[in-house]
Amino acid sequence: MSVPDLGHEHTARQAGHTRIAGVDEVGRGPLAGPVTAAAVILDPDAIPDGLNDSKKLSARRREALSEAILASAQVSIAHATVAEIDEINILRAAHLAMERAVAALDPAPDMALIDGNMVPLGLTLPARAIVRGDAVSLSIAAASIVAKTCRDRLMRDLAQQFPGYGWERNAGYPSKAHREALLNLGVTPHHRRSFRPVHNILYQEK
């Protein structure tokens, strides 16, 4: 099984770039909560062992790696809110979160490696989109770990304020328990009203 490496980062360095940020987002699919992005510039001399696509790691391993990344790399985390998701659509909101994460890095990167097949339009630096980037680029893998760990924590916090939806387990994704809670408990301020299951409930209530 292949693991991420620094091949794309080396290619960027050969093109003259020295501060290369891996960028990824998490949270496009949930019915509730923000979309979260991270931008990470790894220190080539202090890369934590075991970096991989966050989806391939256990929650405990992600937590440990996230702490190691925050201690050894330059990291920025940003969000796009539920209101922004409903206003501009989830793809644009995900890109907005990515743009914010890149913009918050200080000192700024001079190149960004973006997970996915599109470079966010608002980026003002050279960037390359890499499909399944979190599986092939160590920088993007690091960003995926940080973003998912941060968003999962946020959803656990929200679950304490709005119990019954199972956000501490499903992170806002449309699990069976979450969908049933929507029907039984109703829509919260943290639900995405533009998403069909939520929209349909609101429409039926009128």
Q: Is 45 labeled as ligand-binding?
A: no
Q: Where are the domains of the chain?
A: 7-153
Distances (CA, A) of 27 to 11, 191, 199: 29, 13, 18
- Do the beta carbons of residue 111 and residue 12 sit within 8 Å? yes
**Fold assignment, 7-153:** Nucleotidyltransferase; domain 5 (3.30.420)
Rounded Cα distance between 154 and 168, Å, is 9
In the chain, DSSP finds a helix count (H) and a strand count (E) of: 9, 5
Each residue's pLDDT, cut to its tens digit, for the chain (206 residues) gives 578 999 999 999 999 999 999 999 999 999 999 999 999 999 999 999 999 999 999 999 999 999 999 999 999 999 999 999 999 999 999 999 999 999 999 999 999 999 999 999 999 999 999 999 999 999 999 999 999 999 999 999 999 999 999 999 999 999 999 999 999 999 999 999 999 999 998 887 54
User: In the chain, what is the greatest distance between 2 CA atoms, to the nearest angstrom?
Assistant: 59
Q: The pTM is what?
A: 0.96
Determine phi and psi for 117, rounding to 5 degrees.
-110, 10
Rounded Cα distance between 75 and 73, Å, is 6
Q: Is 106 labeled as ligand-binding?
A: no
Q: Is 24 labeled as ligand-binding?
A: yes
